[in-house]
Amino acid sequence: MHIVVGVKWVPNTQAVRFDPHTGTLIREGVPSIVNPHDLHAVELALKLRERYGGRVTAVTMAPPGAVKGLEHIIGMGVDDAVLLSDRKYAGADTLATSYVIASAIKRMGDVDLIVFGQETIDSSTAHVPAQVASWLEAPYIYYVEEVEAIEDNRIRVRRRLEDLVEWYELEMPAVIAVLMHSQKPRPVRLIHKLRAVLEKPVETWSNEILRLDERCVGLKGSPTVVTKITWMPEVPRKQKIFKGEPKEAVNWLIRRLEEEKILPTCGADKCGEGD
């Protein structure tokens, strides 16, 4: 079985700060990382390889620096990786990105399963898995927490939504997006990382190789327009702590919220009577 796992090379948003004067992100000196949610996709892909055999290929569309991220993933045990990198791909929205990724997967030819993380920490659209599936005309499912079985070219997955669990069966090749925090991504191992450095199992595919219509990739192929960026100013926390019985605590909290005019005033005791 050939599994492709899609990852994104993102700025570590925990280290990014906001410029309060301009409202823009200060990205200077902020190291990029593999989107943490994607590591759960990698983990699931590696578990499937252990169960069913085959090969796992990581794919990303990014500038050349993303090789570091692909090496990290190969260090976790992924077999090889493809970096889709071309100046022409720069400035892409999710549509143009998914087009390039889907085209690369088509070029690989023998792919049975495509695994993505749930969403990215730098934009959180969660578009790309569904868009890639659409380009490939493959079925897709989000929020997968476990693959229960793969047999007869069908995959049975369990997905968890906020308050329910569902089971689905999809025909393969299929695209699954893995529920964030659902796996335990394994650490980088010495032997795998050494292989990543020594054998460099990362191929770079530029548009010379993919030969995509330039009008469909990068900025030109991106209908999305960012018209405005705004941000919520930091709210100073009041950090009050109440210690006591739950009932007293509830009354205390309601009174505070009434004082702050967050709740309409009705008297805490009265509100509690219904219980």
Partner 1 sequence: MQGLNRRFEVIVVGAGPAGLSAAYILAKKGFHVVLLERGRGVGSKQVFGGRVYSSLLERVFGSLGDAPIHRWVRRERLSIINGERMLTVEYISGGKYSFTTYLGQLASWMAGKAVEAGAIIVDEVRVDRILVEDNSVVGVESGGDTLKADVVVDAEGANRLLLEELGLVEKPRPSDMALGVKEVIKLGEEKIDERFGLRSGEGAAWILAGSVSAYTPGGGFIYTNKDSVSIGVVVSLESGGLVEEPYRLVESMRLNPLLKDIWREGDIIEYSAHLVPERSVRLIPSKLALNNFLVVGDAAGLLLNTGYTIRGVDYAAYSGYLAANAIVEAEEKYGSYSEEVLRRLYEERLKRSMVFRDIARHKAVEMIWENPTMIKQYAALLLDTLGGLYELGESTPSLRETFKNARRKNKVSLIRVMADLVHGVMKA
Query: 58 vs 132, which CB is nearer to partner 1?
Result: 58
Contact 144, 158 (CB under 8 A): yes
Binding mask 219-238 for partner 1 (x = CB under 8 A): --------------------
| SS3 call for 217 | coil
Query: 76 vs 177, which CB is nearer to partner 1?
Result: 76
Query: 50 vs 269, which CB is nearer to partner 1?
Result: 50
Query: 31 vs 236, which CB is nearer to partner 1?
Result: 31
Of the candidates 73, 42, 49, 44, the one whose C-alpha atom is nearest the C-alpha of residue 1 is 49
261 conformational bin, left if phi > 0, alpha if psi -120 to 50, beta if neither: left
Contact 117, 18 (CB under 8 A): no
User: Site for partner 1 (CB under 8 A): how many residues?
Assistant: 15
193 binds partner 1 (CB under 8 A): yes
Query: 18 vs 168, which CB is nearer to partner 1?
Result: 18
Of the candidates 107, 10, 5, the one whose C-alpha atom is nearest the C-alpha of residue 62 is 10
Binding to partner 1 in span 58-87, by CB under 8 A: 68, 72, 75
The type of residue at 209 is: I
CA distance 170 to 175: 9
Among residues 53, 64, 109, 187, which is the contact residue for partner 1, using CB under 8 A?
A: 187
Of the candidates 70, 125, 128, the one whose C-alpha atom is nearest the C-alpha of residue 97 is 128
Smallest distance from partner 1 to CB 55, Å: 19
* Contacts to partner 1 by CB under 8 A: 28-29, 31, 68, 72, 75, 187-191, 193-194, 197-198
